Structure 1
Amino acid sequence: MSDFSHSLSASASALRAQAVRLRHVSENISNADTPGYRRKTVPFETVENAGRDVVQAGRVKLDRRALSRIYDPGHPLADETGHYRGSNVDLMIEIADAREAQRSYEANLKMFDQTRQMSSSLMDLLRK
């Protein structure tokens, strides 16, 4: 496998991992008001593929921080004190994570495109 294909493979694996991360961040945002919902996090792992290291998303983990207690005596899930358990999703953290994942995705996409362009330029030079 050439250095170009190794570079493309590394970029593609990073793109897939960031896409998984973005999917879980969007799930967290959409479930921010769901009672009992725990925030999902996705760690990245380095895996060897054909003698080269690539990145992949690991197993989804649930955030073990305490769920917020919300006072709403009219809510169907409220206990005798009028509280129910909300989610532990912090929208500011999720927005920051989404922005970071988006920027990482864009950087890997640029690297993929530049590698492809360099490979194409090399083939043009070899044909002459």
Structure 2
Amino acid sequence: MSSLLNALAISSSGMEAQATRLRHVSENIANADTPGYRRKIASFESVANFGSDIGQVRSGPVQLDQSTREMVFDPAHPLADATGHYEGSNVDLIVEVADARQAQRSYEANLKMFDQARQMTSSVLELLRR
């Protein structure tokens, strides 16, 4: 029975981590046209539970993408320098859509695992009641 409960804990931690990742992707998409915005990258780290060997995961600290931002020429923009350029964002919408799809699929896989473990736990409890 404890292994089924461990499966529930593992899959729920995966869903929480992917939900955080999806939130960062949506923030990146929302700020794609914000001048000077740096893309947020979600990182994951394993959770060490003392006395237990289950492999849970959680979202780690947010990292900012250090790739170069494109220089946009618009002399009328308030952030433009003497040459008429300002730094745009380094968000690539195609990359963000791909990351969103990957996070969605990972979330769905964890949800199916959670549902399967829940059904198995219910079946075991039903058998024990008889």
Fold shared per TM-score above 0.5: yes
Q: Which residue of 1 aligns with 2:111?
A: 109
Tell me the alpha carbon deviations over residues 13-67 of structure 1, each in whole angstroms, 9 at most, x when there is no partner: 0011001100100000000000000000011111122512210101000000011
Q: Which residue of 1 aligns with 2:49?
A: 49
Larger deviation, residues 102-111 vs 74-83: 74-83
The percent of aligned pairs where both chains have the same amino acid is: 62
Map 1:1-128 → 2, pairs under 5 A: 2-49=2-49, 51=52, 52-128=54-130
> 1:37 and 1:66 mapped to 2: Cα distance?
11
- Amino acid of the residue matched to residue 70 of structure 1? V
Unaligned runs of 5+ in 1: none
Tell me the alpha carbon deviations over residues 52-94 of structure 1, each in whole angstroms, 9 at most, x when there is no partner: 2210101000000011101111111111211110000000000
Query: How many residues are treated as equivalent by the alignment?
Result: 128
For residue 126 of structure 1, report the CA deviation from its aligned partner: 2.0
